[in-house]
Amino acid sequence: MAEKTKIKSAKGKLGVLLPGMGAVATTFVAGVMAVRKGLAQPFGSYTQMGRIRLGKRTEKRYPKIKEFVPLTDLNDMVFGGWDVYKDNMYKASVKAGVLDKRLLDQVKDELKAVKPMKAVFDKKYVKRLDGTHIKKGKTKMDLAKALMADMKAFKKTNGCDRLVMVWCGSTEIYMEEAACHKNLKALEKGLKNNDPAIPPSMIYAYAAIKMGVPYANGAPNLSADIPALVELAKSKKVPIGGKDFKTGQTLMKTILTPGFKARSLGVDGWFSTNILGNRDGAVLDDPDNFKTKEVSKLGVIEHILQPELNPELYGNIYHKVRINYYPPRGDNKEGWDNIDISGWLGYPMQIKVDFLCRDSILAAPIVLDLCLLLDYASRKEMGGIQEYLGFFFKSPQTKQGLPPQHDLFKQLMKINNTLRHMQGEDLITHLGLDYYY
C-alpha cells in the first residue's frame, strides 16, 4: 500500500470565486444552496455521487469520493465573483432561465447576497458583450493588482481559510501562444506594457496564482495554459487545470469514440451541429470566439482514434463541428451528430445521436468537483497542472509536449488511481491474476 502523505485540514470556510456569473456559475451556486437545504440531489457530481472501489473486489469497499477523500463540506462553501453586468446571483439566475423559479425562490436570500465585483474586461476579446460593470486601470498589471485586492477583501469579509477560482466567464477570441507567454518575466513585463496578447482571463489567472489561489478554466481560452503561468503555479505550489468543461456533445464523443476504437470499427465521418440560445450561444456566434471553441471541440476524436497508427480505420475521417445561435432554445441546447462508421469488410453503417441536453445542468457539477478537488490538491501542496482533472475538460491541459487523454474511461481510471495514490491506497489495474494461483 502506498504511503498516505500529510494534508492540511479541510475545516474552515472555502471561498469560491467565479469570474463570470452567467448560466453555468448561477446554476452551480444555486444548486449547491439547494443541495445544502435538502431540496435536490447533486446528480452529475463525481465527488458527491460517484463511488470508488478500494482494495480487492472481495473486500467490497465502495465509498463515495467525498467519504474517501477529505473534501470541504458543501456547508463550508462561500461564493463570490465578478461580472461585467451588475445583477446579483438571484437576478442573473432568473435571467439565465436554467433552473425553475420555484427552486430559485427557495434560496433567494442567499443568492441575492452574492453580488458581482467589477470585472476586468475588454470588449476586444468578447465582442458580443456590452456590460459596464468594469474596473478601470492604466495597465493590465494595475488590473491584476485590483483583482488581488478583491480576493484579499473577500477572504477577510467572509472569514475564509482558503480560496479557489474557476473561470465561468465567456469564451474569448482565438489566440495562440505569444512571446509574452513564454516565461513569468515576459508575462509580467507584458502586463505592465498592456501587451494585447494578454486577455482578461489571463489577468484573472495570473492574479489568482500569484495569490496562491488554485485556478481552473471552464472555457477554451488560453488563460492559464501558457508556460509563464505553469511556471508560476509550480513555483508557488498552486494547482491549476483546464480547459473548457466537458459537457454535451463532446462528452458524448468521448463516451462513444472509445467504444468504436475498442471494437476496431472504422469511422469515416462525424458531423456535429448544435443549436443553443443562451448568452454563451450569442458570444459564440462571433467567428473569432467560435474559433476558440471549434479548436477545443475538434481534437477529441482524432486523439482517441490515433489515425496515424490506424490509417485503415481512421485515416480519412471528415470531422465537422457547427454551433448555431438559436434564441428560442435558451440554455436547452440540441446537439445532433451523424456518425458514419464501417464494420466487417468495410460495410458502412450510420449512427444518429440527438442529445437534447441542458448545458449548464451538465456543467454545474463539474464546477463543484473542480472547486473541491483543486482545494484538496492545494492542501496536499500539489502545484502545477493537475492532469487527472482532465476528466472534466474538453481540452485537457497537459505538460508541454504531452498529448492530452480524451477517452472518458481512461480519464476516470486516471483520476481514481490518482486519488487512491494520494490517499495511500493500492492502485487498481483491473488485472485479475487468479489463473496463476
Ligand X SMILES: NC(=O)c1ccc[n+]([C@@H]2O[C@H](COP(=O)([O-])OP(=O)(O)OC[C@H]3O[C@@H](n4cnc5c(N)ncnc54)[C@H](O)[C@@H]3O)[C@@H](O)[C@H]2O)c1
Residue 90 interacts with ligand X (CB under 6 A)? no
Query: For ligand X, which is the closer residue by CB, 78 or 284?
Result: 284
Per-residue contact string for residues 107-136; x = within reach of ligand X by CB under 6 A: ------------xxx----x--x-x-----
Distance (Å) of CA 238 to CA 21, 202, 269, 277, 393: 24, 15, 41, 36, 19
Distance (Å) of CA 323 to CA 96, 242, 271, 273, 291: 19, 21, 11, 6, 10
**What's the full length of the chain, in residues?**
437
Alpha-carbon distance of 197 to 263, in angstroms, equals 44
Residue 422 interacts with ligand X (CB under 6 A)? no
Residue 277 interacts with ligand X (CB under 6 A)? no
Query: For ligand X, which is the closer residue by CB, 94 or 283?
Result: 283
Query: For ligand X, which is the closer residue by CB, 131 or 404?
Result: 131
Residue 165 interacts with ligand X (CB under 6 A)? no
CB of 236 to ligand X, least distance (A): 23
Q: Which of residues 173-202 bind ligand X (CB under 6 A)?
A: 200
CB of 420 to ligand X, least distance (A): 28
CB of 26 to ligand X, least distance (A): 8
Residues paired with 134 in a beta bridge: 119
Query: For ligand X, which is the closer residue by CB, 69 or 151?
Result: 151
Q: Which of residues 218-247 bind ligand X (CB under 6 A)?
A: 218-219, 244-245, 247
Query: For ligand X, which is the closer residue by CB, 25 or 228?
Result: 25
Residue 375 interacts with ligand X (CB under 6 A)? no
Residue 251 interacts with ligand X (CB under 6 A)? no
C-alpha cell at 324: 448555431
Residue 359 interacts with ligand X (CB under 6 A)? yes
Alpha-carbon distance of 105 to 215, in angstroms, equals 31
Whether the CB-CB separation of 21 and 279 falls below 8 Å is answered with no
Residue 254 interacts with ligand X (CB under 6 A)? no
Which are the contacts of 344, defined by CB distance < 8 A and separation ≥ 6?
A: none
Residue selected from 241, 248, 277, 390 as contacting ligand X according to rule CB under 6 A: 248
Residue 321 interacts with ligand X (CB under 6 A)? no
CB of 196 to ligand X, least distance (A): 15
Which are the contacts of 334, defined by CB distance < 8 A and separation ≥ 6?
A: 274, 275, 276, 354, 355, 356, 357
Residue 392 interacts with ligand X (CB under 6 A)? no
Query: For ligand X, which is the closer residue by CB, 200 or 390?
Result: 200
| CB-CB neighbours of 295 under 10 Å | 15
DSSP string, 51-94: B--BS-GGG-B--BHHHHS----GGGEEEEEEESS---HHHHHH
Alpha-carbon distance of 368 to 394, in angstroms, equals 17
User: Which parts of this chain interact with ligand X (CB under 6 A)?
Assistant: 19-25, 82-85, 96, 119-121, 126, 129, 131, 168-171, 200, 218-219, 244-245, 247-248, 278-280, 283, 359-360, 362-363
